[in-house]
C-alpha cells in the first residue's frame, strides 16, 4: 500500500459507498471508534428537585450505551471549542467571584438573577430533534429539543443561550449594566428601576414560547447565584460567601465508611478549597468553622480536619508521577499494593468495591430482554 500514491478505501455509509483517499484514513479511524456496538435504547427517569416547590421531577434521559452516545461525545468535544466566547460567559463560581469583586455599585443599582423555568433546546437538525427513549416499557419520541442526559445537550444548550442572549439583549431597551451567565442562570445588575425591570423581564419571555425565565431580586441586600451568596456592601462593593440551599443537610462521606483515607481527605480538601475560593477574607473564618462543625458531625476528628485545612492553605506541589492506576479499595489489601506502586512512582486511585446505591433498585426503567438473538428494527 505504501507504493500506491492514491490508495482508496470503500466504506458503507447510510446504504451508499464512499471513497476515502490515503490522506483521509485518520478520519476512518475516528469513524471506527464511533461505531456503536451492543447498543441499548435510552431510558427516561426523573430526579426530584427537592429545593423547588411541590417537589417537581427533573426528567433525565440516560443515553449511556445508546446508538448515538459515542457520536454525541465526539461532537460535543468539537463544538465545545466554539462556546464561551461571549463577554458574559463565566467558567465556574470561582471565576464569577473574581468578576464581581471588581464591580462598583451605584445606589440605584439592583442585583437580579434570572433562571430559565422551561428550558428547551430548539434545533432544526434531525439528529437533535428526533431523539427517542423508553419509559415503562413504551417507546417515545421527543419531537422538540435535546434530552438532559446526552453529552451533546449541554454544549448545544450553551450555543443556543449565547445566540438567544445576543438577540434578546441587543433588542432590549434599556439594557442591563452588567450581566454574567452560567448556562441558563444569569446574574444581572439593573440600574433603571423596578418598572423598567418588569418590562425587561417581559421582553425576555416574549422571545420564544419555550424559553421562559423566572426572576429573583436581592432581599436584605443579598442574592444567591450558583453556590455563591452575593451581598451588597455599604461601600458600594459586592461581597461573596458560600451559599447552601435550604434543603442542604451537611451530610458528606462519613469517616467510618469503607473508603481509603485519601478519598476521605479529598472530601475535606474539596470543601476547604471551595471555602477559600468563594469566601471573601472576612467571611472565610466563619465558613471554616461551619465546615469543622459539619465534618465532626460526619465522624472526622479534630486532627484530620486541621490537617486538611493546612494542606489547602499551604499546598504541597510535590507530585510523584503522572502514571496512575485504579484499584477497588479493600482494607489491608489494596492499600498495601498502593504502597508498592508508590515506590515505583505510580499513583493509586481507589474506587469503592460496593456502594449503597447498588443495593437499592435503580430509578431507571428495567430493560426487557429481547426474545432471541438477531437484528431488530423499530418502525
pLDDT in tens, 227-266: 999 999 998 899 999 999 988 999 999 999 888 888 899 9
Cis peptide preceding 356, ω within 30 of 0 = no
pLDDT of residue 122: 42
pLDDT of residue 176: 92
**Percentage of the chain exceeding pLDDT 70:** 81
Non-local (6+) Cβ contacts of 182 within 8 A are 90, 92, 96, 226
Taking each helix axis from N to C end, the angle separating 281-297 and 261-278, rounded to the nearest 10 degrees, works out to 150
pLDDT of residue 99: 93
Output the pTM of the full model: 0.76
Give the containing element (helix H, strand E) for 223: strand 222-225
Give the containing element (helix H, strand E) for 261: helix 261-278
The residues of the chain scoring below 50 in pLDDT are: 1-20, 24-25, 118-119, 121-127, 129-130
According to DSSP, residue 219 is labeled: B
pLDDT of residue 262: 85
Non-local (6+) Cβ contacts of 139 within 8 A are 41, 132, 133, 378
What's the number of CA atoms in the CB half-sphere (13 Å) around residue 179?
Answer: 19
- The whole-angstrom separation of Cα 284 and Cα 278 is 9
Determine how many CB atoms are found less than 10 A away from the CB of residue 333.
Answer: 11
pLDDT of residue 367: 67
Which of 33, 34, 62 has the alpha carbon at shortest distance from 132? 62
Which of 353, 361, 188 has the alpha carbon at shortest distance from 260? 353
Amino acid at each position: 500500500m505504501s507504493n500506491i500514491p492514491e490508495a482508496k478505501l470503500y466504506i458503507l455509509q447510510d446504504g451508499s459507498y464512499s471513497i476515502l483517499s490515503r490522506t483521509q484514513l485518520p478520519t476512518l479511524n475516528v469513524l471506527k471508534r464511533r461505531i456503536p456496538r451492543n447498543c441499548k435504547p435510552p431510558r427516561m427517569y426523573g430526579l426530584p428537585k427537592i429545593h423547588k416547590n411541590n417537589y417537581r421531577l427533573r426528567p433525565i434521559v440516560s443515553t449511556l450505551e445508546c446508538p448515538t452516545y459515542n457520536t454525541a461525545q465526539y461532537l460535543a468535544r468539537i463544538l465545545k471549542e466554539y462556546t464561551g466566547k461571549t463577554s458574559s460567559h463565566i467558567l465556574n463560581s470561582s471565576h464569577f467571584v473574581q468578576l464581581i469583586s471588581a464591580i462598583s455599585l451605584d445606589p440605584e443599582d439592583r442585583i437580579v438573577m434570572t433562571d430559565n423555568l422551561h428550558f428547551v433546546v430548539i434545533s432544526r437538525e434531525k439528529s437533535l430533534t428526533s431523539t427517542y427513549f423508553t419509559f415503562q416499557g413504551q417507546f417515545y419520541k421527543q419531537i422538540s429539543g435535546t434530552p438532559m442526559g446526552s453529552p451533546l445537550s449541554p454544549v448545544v444548550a450553551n450555543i443556543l443561550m449565547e445566540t438567544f442572549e445576543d438577540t434578546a439583549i441587543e433588542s432590549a431597551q434599556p439594557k442591563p449594566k452588567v450581566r454574567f451567565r452560567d448556562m441558563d442562570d444569569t446574574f444581572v445588575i439593573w440600574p433603571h428601576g423596578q418598572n423598567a425591570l418588569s418590562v425587561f423581564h417581559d421582553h425576555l419571555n416574549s422571545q420564544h414560547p419555550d424559553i421562559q425565565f423566572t426572576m429573583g431580586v436581592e432581599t436584605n441586600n443579598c442574592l444567591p447565584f450558583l453556590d455563591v451568596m452575593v451581598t451588597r456592601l455599604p461601600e458600594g462593593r459586592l461581597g461573596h460567601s458560600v451559599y447552601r440551599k435550604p434543603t442542604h443537610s451537611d451530610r458528606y462521606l462519613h469517616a467510618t465508611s469503607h473508603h481509603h483515607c485519601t478519598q476521605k481527605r479529598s472530601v475535606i480538601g474539596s470543601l476547604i478549597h471551595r471555602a477559600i475560593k468563594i469566601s471573601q477574607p472576612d467571611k472565610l473564618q466563619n465558613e471554616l468553622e461551619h465546615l469543622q462543625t459539619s465534618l465532626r458531625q460526619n465522624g472526622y476528628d479534630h486532627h484530620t480536619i486541621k490537617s486538611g485545612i493546612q494542606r489547602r492553605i499551604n499546598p504541597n506541589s510535590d507530585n510523584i508521577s503522572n502514571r496512575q492506576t485504579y484499584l477497588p479499595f479493600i482494607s489491608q489489601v489494596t492499600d498495601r499494593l498502593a504502597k508498592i506502586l508508590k515506590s515505583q512512582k505510580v499513583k493509586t486511585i481507589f474506587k469503592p468495591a460496593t456502594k449503597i446505591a447498588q443495593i437499592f433498585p435503580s430509578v431507571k426503567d428495567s430493560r426487557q430482554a429481547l426474545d432471541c438473538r438477531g437484528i431488530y428494527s423499530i418502525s
